[in-house]
Amino acid sequence: MTSPDDERSRHQHILEEARRFAHEEVRPRARDFDERGELARDLIAKMATQGFLLARLPQQYGGLGLDPVTYGLVTEEIGKACCSSRALMTVECSLVGETLLAWGTEDQKRRWLQAIAKEGKLGAFALTEPEIGSDARGVKTTFEARGDDYILNGRKKWTSFGAIADFFLVVAMKDSSATVFLVERDQPGVRVTPMKGLLAGRAAHLAEIELENVCVPKDRMVGKPGSAFPYVVGTALDHGRYSVAWGGVAIAQASLEAMVTYARTRTQFGQKIAEFQLVQGMIGEAVAKIHAARALCLRAGELRQRRDPDAIMETTIAKHFSAQIAMEVATDAVQVHGGNGCSSSYPVERLFREAKVLNIIEGTAQIQQQMIAKYGLRKYYHRPSPE
């Protein structure tokens, strides 16, 4: 039995190791990953060995057992160095790992979480389809019972790490009721097509997945029949939003550091551009926005640690805000860099592209606004007093 002090010390050590790992092993290769359109397998293997792929999950399943706040801070460190490496953590730990932890049977947890942690396997979360994005409850992929098995048919799209994943959590529909199934990549009827020509996430191995009469044994159902909405998918997206919220802080922080460094070294009109007040305006705004976004993420993390019912909305707010400010700060970082900011020789060009995606994944900004508005409309309503 470890003491709370020992546990805090362990978490701090992991965070410091993540910082070192990001700086030495990830950041120097981020541009190369983006240009080649893939994360290197050796890096993925190292992240698994370090425990980062399932950092938040209990140690008994191969995770690091991090509390939500430390997990968020680790996510920020990796995300500052490389957005696609952060995306790998989001998919493996938050979308796949947390979902199996919450809804999987004990056998499923032991088999598939261990596979990620120890066997070099990857999972992916297959919800979105060619015609279905925000309207997730309208998925067209179907399942039907056949004896003790289920037969799946349909197409998934935008599946992060789908191109290299060994198994997928697939959301499928029957009679307007959705269920989640674990489908292995090498099952007959599964076809995976990597997606190219992307604005961002170029190294996140996005793929289309076609399922044609794929036969899934009944023990591969995740959760109860019909439990995909609101429970299983809701859990996945909630954890995904928490991870992406920190990903937004990461992009904004990396953009700020690049902007500050450039402003203090670039000379125009005989002085460093950091001395120009209009440049300082952008830096000042960036600092304030990032501090606010990080505070929201920390608050969400603390509520998640306490399993507070408000955690889900505070996470949504943190994700929405950090995604917004990531785009704003990355835009200003490009502006401070001028023409150089439009070149892949400088990381802000990549950060600018990656920031845009955060406003779309795990709930578009507009869907988030609606959720937050409904929360506000009920939380801050005071019935008018009679005259």
Q: Which residues contact another protein (rule: CB under 8 A)?
A: 102-104, 223-224, 226-227, 230-231, 234-235, 238, 306-313, 316, 371, 374-375, 377-378, 381, 383
Name the minimum Å distance from CB 73 to another protein. Answer: 23
Q: Annotated catalytic, 362? A: yes
Structure token pair of residue 248: 């937004």
One-letter amino acid identity for 274?
A
- Tell me how far apart the alpha carbons of residues 208 and 126 are, in angstroms, rounded to a whole number: 9
Smallest separation (angstroms) from another protein to the CB of 344: 39
Tell me the C-alpha distance between 61 and 282, whole Å.
45
Angle between helices 311-337 and 347-358 (to 10 degrees): 150
Residue 288 or residue 373: which is nearer to another protein going by CB?
Answer: 373
Provide the pairing of β-strand 123-126 with 167-174.
Answer: parallel
Q: CA angle at residue 15 from 232 to 300, to 5 degrees?
A: 45
The residue among 5 and 106 lying less far from another protein, judged by its C-beta, is 106
Which CB atom, from 172 or from 311, has the smaller least distance to another protein? 311
Q: What is the DSSP-derived secondary structure letter of residue 257?
A: H
Set 129, 208, 349, 362: catalytic member: 362
Measure the CA–CA gap between 306 and 110, rounded to whole angstroms: 26
CA 330 to centroid of chain Cα atoms: 18
Q: CB 312 → another protein: shortest distance, Å? A: 5
Backbone angles phi, psi at 163, to 5 degrees: -65, -25
Return d(Cα 153, Cα 148) in angstroms, integer.
17
In the bound state with another protein, the residue whose beta carbon lies nearer, of 58 and 234, is 234
Nearer to another protein, 231 or 276 (CB): 231
What's the closest the beta carbon of residue 67 comes to another protein, in angstroms?
16
Contact assessment for residue 73 and residue 13, using Cβ atoms and an 8 Å cutoff: no
CB of 356 to another protein, least distance (A): 25
Residues annotated as part of the active site:
362
